[in-house]
Amino acid sequence: MSFRVVRSSKFRHVYGTGLKRDQCFDNIRVSKSSWDSTFCAVNPKFLAIIVESAGGGAFIVMPLSKVGRINPDHPLVGGHKGPVLDIAWCPHNDNVIASGSEDCVVKVWQIPDSGISRTLTDPIVDLVYHQRRVGLVLWHPSAQNVLLTAGSDNLVLLWNVGIGEVIVKIDCHPDIVYSACWNWDGSSLLTTCKDKKIRIINPRTGDIEEEAISHEGSKATRAIFLRSGLVFTTGFSKMSERQYSLRAPDHLSDPIVMVELDTSNGVMFPLYDPDTNLVYLCGKGDSVIRYFEITAEPPFVHYISTFQTPDPQRGIGMMPKRGCDVNSCEISRFFRLNNSGLCQVITFTVPRKSELFQEDLYPDTPGEEPAITAEEWLGGKDAEPLLISLRDGYAPSHKKELKRGGSTSSMTRSSADSDGDSADAPVVQSGVSQKVVDDLMEEIRKLKAMIVKHENRIRSLETKVTGVTAPPLGSGASALPGTPAPAKPEESKVNSSPAQSSGEEMAPDEV
């Protein structure tokens, strides 16, 4: 007598659903760059997609509520001189996004709460150090204003965006860096390189703590840190078969699990949900999304299911858990880019009959508030991300500030200025006394009053001049029947010239 024991898991029946076309984003000119990037970044407020743009690089930013067909002339974020290769939203400020480009420059942008009303070309900060194209940008999970960038010059740089300076330079890679990932508290850095090695690096010193060959194939590999500290990688075998592996720190060269998937050529991007311990594998050019659950019991990486679509995908973005709908038991949401220009929204849901809040599906998740500052992190302090509860849902905040070198650049837009163009720029408060500000405002008020007074006087003079020079209607033989007779000569004395008012006689031809 034999029987099969089914593994017990609350995620065994997770299913994906593609939303209807009118609930997605259409008519987007997705970038045709051959760089291995997801081309898409999303947060609870905005969707950003790298697009084709003449005369430089650009990406499009849209509020999540603006679904449907996008106008071809939709405003862009376009300050780069070369194609944009990677974009990333700041985890501590939903209005701030960083972009790396082939022009070797990293730019940090501020997006107003209502979206952009015209093409944005002025970033908050320009980060200039790389000598070759920048293909990777990544924010620190818990430290404020810490940004990682990697370029084709084989350098990995850590920036303090608040002062716009490099704080750590890591030059231990002999070739191009394919991917980078922070661990849960941001105390270690995991990278993959073109030399087929994965490295665990001390991000403050740049020292290599451990390295090993990841996959034997020569194509691009990816690696991520799991919340438990394990390492999950994707890559290719010598025979160009796609693989994934699970490894433990201190034993990187000896994988716990190594599985071959298929023989496709597209690079696989592992997208990880630390709250549920699910990994989604999305390959460039694939028409499927595979998802797995990682547990502490063999075989450790458990295949759950596959979401199938008819069209191959060009790029993909994953919504943070803060932006998921807890009322419908939605645990993940993806924004999938097709070659046809459609950004398809896909939701992954756990089927539950109860409409109450499911605590087991939604543990506390990282919120917007940073745990430490850049200076504290650089000084050796580590901290896990600050967690928030989703029991009552999540409402994005409207007031965010970015501290920059002693002064504070306000990242807010007042509701009164939400329709104005001038509100697109951040308001800078640089320590000026309140008295000086009040004096300037009073001077501006007086100038406005003076302008109004002059405009009224100009209108009055124009009215008088028009009354003198306009020919009377109906004068001469061309008068129409029924029109009133022209004014008598003596009635025009009101508009007489200064010479008449002084008593001088006028010639008959002057009357």
pLDDT tens, position by position, 96-143:
999 999 999 999 999 999 899 999 999 999 999 999 999 999 999 999
> What is the rounded radius of gyration, in angstroms, for the C-alpha atoms of the chain?
32
d(CA 79, CA 452): 38
pLDDT tens digits along 266-288: 999 999 999 999 999 999 999 99
d(CA 269, CA 236): 13
pLDDT tens digits along 198-222: 999 999 999 999 999 999 999 999 9
Within 379-433, where are the H helices? none
Minimum mean pLDDT among 98-102, 398-402, 456-460: which range? 398-402
Residue 149 confidence (pLDDT) above 70: yes
d(CA 128, CA 157): 11
Amino acid letter for position 13 = H
Residue 484 confidence (pLDDT) above 60: no
Helix (H, G, I), strand (E, B) or coil at 483: coil
d(CA 71, CA 64): 15
Residue 78 confidence (pLDDT) above 60: yes
Say if residue 474 is exposed, middle or buried (CB neighbours under 10 Å; 0-12, 13-18, 19+): middle
By the 8 A CB rule, do 70 and 62 touch?
yes
Q: Which residues contact residue 220 at a Cβ distance below 8 angstroms, ignoring those fewer than 6 apart? A: 36, 178, 179, 192, 194, 235, 267
The values of phi and psi at residue 42, to 5°, are -145, 150
d(CA 156, CA 5): 48
d(CA 63, CA 398): 14
By the 8 A CB rule, do 242 and 261 touch?
yes
pLDDT of 58 reads 94
Say if residue 276 is exposed, middle or buried (CB neighbours under 10 Å; 0-12, 13-18, 19+): buried
d(CA 235, CA 17): 28
pLDDT of 398 reads 65
d(CA 68, CA 354): 32
